[in-house]
A and B are shown apart, each in its own frame.
Chain A
Amino acid sequence: MWLWFSKLGSPKWFYELSGKWLPWLVGAMIISMTVAVVWALLYLPPDYQQGYTSRILVVHVAVAGTSLAFFPLMAVAGTITLVWKMKLADMVAKNAAALGAWFSFITLATGSLWGSVMWGTWWEWTDARLVSMLFQFFLLLGVVSLRSALEDPDKAAKACALLSIVGCINVVIIKYSVEWWNVLHQPSSPLSVNSDSPNGPEFWIATIIMVLAVYLFLSISLILATRNEILQRERRAQWVQELVRNS
């Protein structure tokens, strides 16, 4: 277990292993993304009250759910950075922040579009779900700026790790905001396996496939960015120089 753990921290080992995985991940993402998009645009039944506008939920729910994974991911990586000082964990955390900001932005944008049609408003400052999501967007931008504001990379890594751990509290607030307080945003839909009841499989299967596709997209983006980071930070290492020479 500890041998595996320390191996995982080796940038060289990660670089080689991720290189083997990437084609498979990309293939799986293209297939699942295509299936989900085609299904959502052509076959998802209209909702009885929202009509075809409800199709936006496939994208909105998948991206919103995935965007909640960033702070926990960065917090775990941050804890590893602070306690075990593993270089790889910080490389992952560094690139996750900017990616997470994009995911939050897409969540806000798709939600805004949906709300403008269904609720009659683009934005409500008094809705706890909306505002806590906007806060996550700013918090992630904050992590990105904090990193670039501190010149010493070690100090920057530590500060970002701590901010990431703190940011996890907001994820809990986003998740339960619709249950704790009166808001305009609807609560999360309970999935039903029965197609004769609300939220039947015909509504959520496409969303589940989209969630898978979005998580694959997240993993691929993160792996690619981390590989870049590895090459940059380890540019003086022998194995990187050999790699460059042979390519």
Chain B
Amino acid sequence: MKPHRRKTLGIIIFIAIGLSATVGLIFFALGQNINMFYTPTQVAEGEVETGQSFRIGGMVKEGSVAGEDDSLRIEFVTTDYVSDVPIHYEGILPDLFREGQGIVAEGSMDLAGVFQADRVLAKHDENFMSPEVKAALDAAGATSENHAELSGN
């Protein structure tokens, strides 16, 4: 390789490495701020102040959903299998909402320690399977597809 070409290539590699390092440090400094939601454990540890608007992400705890037939009010508990946070919400839920489903809710904690949600979104995992496979896995007791989702984060 001719010397002037080697020099140009060297400058390009230097710029690329320098920029990667800069961006890496910026993201390292931003840390938690890029996360879309807090987990119930982070909320239980007091990382969020009462009244502050934020998003919480977790699973809808089995057997915790309680609603009324004549209104859109619903109460349920979100969990990351370590801590639980109760959520109150009034509004339209995504079709995927059900017990055992991942959700992300937007709102704030009230003084009673209940999360008052303005919006509830469904978070689904990366596992696609036909109803037959799902039924077979359930029968075998092997399904834990939603557990893996949160532990990965």
Q: Which residues of A contact B (CB under 8 A)?
A: 45-50, 54, 57, 79, 82-84, 117-121, 124, 126-128, 162, 165-166, 168-169, 173, 179-184, 186-190, 195-200, 202-203
Contact = CB atoms under 8 A, between A and B. Distances in A.
A197 B36 contact: no
A121 B129 contact: no
Interface string B26-56: 0100000011111100000000000000010
Interface residues of B, number: 46
Nearest to B123: A184
A48 B124 contact: no
A241 B149 CA distance: 62
Nearest to B150: A182
Interface of B: 5, 8-9, 12, 15-16, 19-20, 23, 27, 34-39, 55, 57, 92-96, 101, 104, 120-131, 133-137, 145, 149, 152-153
Contacts of B145: 198
B126 A190 contact: yes
A182 B128 contact: no
A1 to B, nearest CB: 13
B23 A54 contact: no
A197 B133 CA distance: 7
Contact of B128 (A128, A166, A168, A199): A199
A180 B27 CA distance: 10
A169 B15 contact: no
A229 B37 CA distance: 48
A84 B5 contact: yes
A120 B126 contact: no
Contacts of A54: 128
Given A165-B16, A169-B23, A179-B152, A120 B94 contact: yes
Nearest to B38: A182
